[in-house]
Amino acid sequence: MEQQEKVEQVPRVDDVLSPASQRSAGLRRVAGPLLSVGMLVLAMWALHLLARHVSYHDIREYVASVSRVRLLLAIVLTTLGFGVMSLYDRFGLESIGRPLPWRRVTLISFISYAFSNAVGMSFLVSGSIRYRFYVQNGLSTAEIAKLVLYCTLSFWLGLLALTGVTLLIVPLPSGLPLSDWRILLATALTAIPLAWVLGGFIRRPIRLWRWRVLLPRPLPALRQVLVGALDWWLAATVMYVLMPDSLHAGFGHFLAIFVIAQIVGLISHVPGGLGVFESLMLAGFHATADKHLAAPILGALAMFRVVYYLMPLCAATMLVLQREARGLRKQALWSPWFTGLLPSFFAGLTLVSGAVLLFSGATRALPDRMAILRDVLPLSVLEVSHFMASVIGMMLLILARGLQRRLDVAYWVTLVLLVAGAVFSLLKGIDYEEASLLALLAMALAPAHRLFYRRASLFGGHYSWGWIVAILAVFGCTTWLVMFSYKHVEYSNNLWWEFSFHEGASRALRSLVGAAAAGLLFALASLIKPRRLRHAPPSEAELERALPLIRHFHSAQAHLALMGDKRLLFDAEGKAFLMYDTAGRSWVTMGDPVGEDEDARRELVWSFMEQCERAGGWPVFYQVSPADLDLYLEVGMSLLKIGEEARVRLEHFNLDGKSKKTLRGTINKLSRDGVRLEIVPAEEVAPLLPRLKQISDAWLADKHAREKRFSLGSFDPRYLVRTPMALVWQGERLLAFANLFLTETREEASLDLMRFVPDGPSGIMDFLFVELMQWAKQHGYRWFNLGMAPLAGLTSRRKSPLWNRFGALVFGRGERFYNFQGLQRYKDKFDPEWEPRYMAVPGGIALPVILANVASLISGGITGVVRR
- Banded model confidence at residue 503, pLDDT cuts 50, 70, 90: confident
How many residues are given for the chain?
868
The pLDDT assigned to 10 comes to 35
Contact between 673 and 761 (Cβ < 8 Å): yes
The pLDDT assigned to 229 comes to 93
Q: Give the count of beta carbons closer than 10 Å to the beta carbon of residue 313.
A: 20
**Distance between CA atoms of 386 and 786, rounded to whole angstroms?**
67
2 has a pLDDT exceeding 70:
no
**Distance between CA atoms of 710 and 210, rounded to whole angstroms?**
35
**Distance between CA atoms of 700 and 691, rounded to whole angstroms?**
15
> Could you tell me which residue, 624 or 496, shows the higher pLDDT?
624
Pairing of strands 618-624, 586-590: parallel
255 has a pLDDT exceeding 80:
yes
**Distance between CA atoms of 806 and 163, rounded to whole angstroms?**
42
Instruction: Tell whether the torsion through CA atoms of 653, 659, 661 and 666 is positive or negative.
Output: negative
Q: Using a pLDDT cut of 90, give the percent of the chain over it.
A: 27
Phi, psi of 616 (to 5 degrees): 75, 25
Sheet containing 675-680: order of strands: 567-570, 577-583, 586-590, 618-624, 833-841, 638-649, 783-790, 748-756, 733-742, 725-730, 675-680
The pLDDT assigned to 138 comes to 74
Among 30-34, 320-324, 327-331, 725-729, the range scoring the smallest mean pLDDT is: 327-331
573 has a pLDDT exceeding 90:
no
**Distance between CA atoms of 250 and 320, rounded to whole angstroms?**
40
Each residue's pLDDT tens digit, 152-189: 889 899 999 999 998 888 876 665 656 667 778 888 88
**Distance between CA atoms of 853 and 855, rounded to whole angstroms?**
5
What mean pLDDT do residues 445-455 have?
Answer: 83
> Could you tell me which residue, 791 or 231, shows the higher pLDDT?
231
The pLDDT assigned to 326 comes to 61
27, 613, 671 from 22: Cα distances, Å? 9, 14, 60
547 has a pLDDT exceeding 80:
yes
Pairing of strands 638-649, 783-790: antiparallel
Global pTM reads 0.61
Contact between 408 and 453 (Cβ < 8 Å): yes
The secondary structure of the chain in percent helix, strand, coil, rounded to multiples of 5, reads 65, 10, 25
282 has a pLDDT exceeding 70:
yes
Each residue's pLDDT tens digit, 40-81: 667 667 666 666 677 777 788 888 888 889 999 999 999 999
The pLDDT assigned to 120 comes to 46
**Distance between CA atoms of 345 and 351, rounded to whole angstroms?**
10
Phi, psi of 835 (to 5 degrees): -125, 130
**Distance between CA atoms of 110 and 118, rounded to whole angstroms?**
12
Supply the angle between the helices 379-404 and 408-429 in degrees, to the nearest 10.
150
Top-ranked range on mean pLDDT: pick from 117-126, 342-351, 797-806: 342-351
Secondary structure element (H or E) that encloses residue 54, with its range: none
Contact between 579 and 846 (Cβ < 8 Å): no
Phi, psi of 459 (to 5 degrees): -90, -10
861 has a pLDDT exceeding 60:
no
What mean pLDDT do residues 384-400 have?
Answer: 93
- Which 8-state DSSP code applies to residue 747? S
Beta strands in 681-805 (DSSP E): 725-730, 733-742, 748-756, 783-790
